[in-house]
C-alpha cells in the first residue's frame, strides 16, 4: 500500500477497494445471522465505484456515485420478491455509507497537495494507534472505556494510543509534510479519536449481531473489517483536517 501511495496511486486505490470488497462480504455474512439479506450485487458495484469515483473525479464525482448507488440499491431490491425489503435496502445503504464511502475520503486526500505523504501519515497514525494502544493497554489497562461493548479497550490503552500517535504525527508532520508541529498533534489526536470510535462502533455492531469477529481470514486478528474499522473512521477526519488546516500553510 505504501508503495502504491508513493509510486503508483491507482494501485493503492485498487488495493484499498479490494480490502473494502472483502470487508463488505464479511458484513453481508454477519448480517445473515439476523436474517438480513444484503442486496449484494449493487452493494459490490458501489464498493468498487465510490473509491475510483473519488480518485478520478473528486468530491463531486463521489457525491454522484453515492446518489446513484443508493438509488440502485432500492431499485434492485424492488424487483426481488423476497420479504423484508425495507430492512434489506436499509442494510445496503448503511454498508455503502460505512465502508466504501468513508474509505473514499482517503482517495480524496490522495488528490490534495502533498496528498501522497498525507495518506502515508494517516496510515502511520492508524498503525501507531493500534500498536501503542495494545502495548500500553495490555500492561497497564485497568479502566474499561466501554465494558458492555469492548471489555478489553481501556482508558490507559487510549492514552497510550494518543501518546504514541502524537510522537509519530509530530515527527511525520515536521519531516514529511513540512508543516508546524502542532498540526501533527491535532491530526494525531483527531485520528486516534476517530479510529477508537470506529473500533467501538464495529464492536457494537458485532455484539448486536452476536458474532465475535466479522471474519477469520486474518489469523489472530479476525476478518478484514476488524482491521479496517479504524481506518474507515479516520479517513474522513484526516481529509477534513487537510482541507481546513493544511491550505493555510501551502
The 3-state secondary structure of 163-204 reads HHHHHHHHHHHHHHHCCCHHHHHHHHHHHHHHHHHHHHHHHH
Q: To which residue does cell 439479506 refer?
A: 37
H or E stretch including 144? Answer: strand 144-146
User: Which among 31, 63, 39, 37 has a CA at the least distance from the CA of 49?
Assistant: 63
Q: Average pLDDT across each block of 10 residues of the chain; the chain has 250 residues. List them in order.
A: 82 94 92 88 96 96 96 88 85 95 95 89 92 88 80 86 94 88 92 92 86 70 80 94 65
| Distance separating alpha carbons of residues 68 and 42, to the nearest angstrom | 10
**pTM of the full predicted structure?**
0.89
User: Which of helix, strand or coil describes residue 112?
Assistant: coil
Looking at residue 250, what is its pLDDT?
Answer: 40
Looking at residue 248, what is its pLDDT?
Answer: 45
User: Which among 52, 46, 99 has a CA at the least distance from the CA of 72?
Assistant: 46
Residue 81 phi/psi, 5-degree rounding, is: -75, -5
Q: What's the Cα-to-Cα distance from 59 to each of 215, 219, 229, rounded to whole Å? A: 31, 36, 22
Amino acid at each position: 500500500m505504501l508503495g502504491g501511495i508513493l509510486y503508483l496511486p491507482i494501485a493503492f486505490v485498487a488495493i484499498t477497494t479490494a480490502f473494502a470488497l472483502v470487508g463488505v462480504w464479511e458484513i453481508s455474512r454477519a448480517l445473515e445471522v439476523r436474517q438480513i439479506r444484503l442486496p449484494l450485487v449493487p452493494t459490490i458495484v458501489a464498493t468498487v465505484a465510490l473509491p475510483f469515483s473519488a480518485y478520478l473525479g473528486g468530491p463531486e464525482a463521489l457525491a454522484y456515485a453515492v446518489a446513484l448507488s443508493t438509488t440502485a440499491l432500492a431499485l434492485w431490491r424492488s424487483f426481488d420478491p423476497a420479504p423484508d425489503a425495507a430492512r434489506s435496502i436499509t442494510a445496503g445503504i448503511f454498508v455503502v455509507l460505512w465502508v466504501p464511502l468513508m474509505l473514499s475520503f482517503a482517495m480524496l486526500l490522495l488528490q490534495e497537495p502533498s496528498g501522497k505523504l498525507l495518506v502515508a501519515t494517516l496510515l502511520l497514525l492508524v498503525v501507531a494507534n493500534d500498536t501503542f494502544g495494545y502495548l500500553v493497554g495490555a500492561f497497564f489497562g485497568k479502566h474499561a472505556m466501554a465494558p458492555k461493548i469492548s471489555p478489553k479497550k481501556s482508558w490507559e490503552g487510549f492514552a497510550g494510543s494518543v501518546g504514541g500517535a502524537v510522537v509519530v504525527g509530530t515527527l511525520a508532520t515536521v519531516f514529511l509534510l513540512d508543516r508546524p508541529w502542532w498540526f501533527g498533534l491535532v491530526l494525531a489526536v483527531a485520528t486516534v479519536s476517530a479510529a477508537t470510535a470506529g473500533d467501538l462502533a464495529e464492536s457494537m455492531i458485532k455484539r448486536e449481531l452476536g458474532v465475535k469477529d466479522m471474519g477469520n481470514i486474518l489469523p489472530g486478528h479476525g476478518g478484514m473489517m476488524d482491521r479496517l474499522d479504524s481506518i474507515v473512521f479516520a479517513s474522513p477526519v484526516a481529509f477534513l483536517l487537510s482541507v481546513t488546516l493544511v491550505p493555510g500553510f501551502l
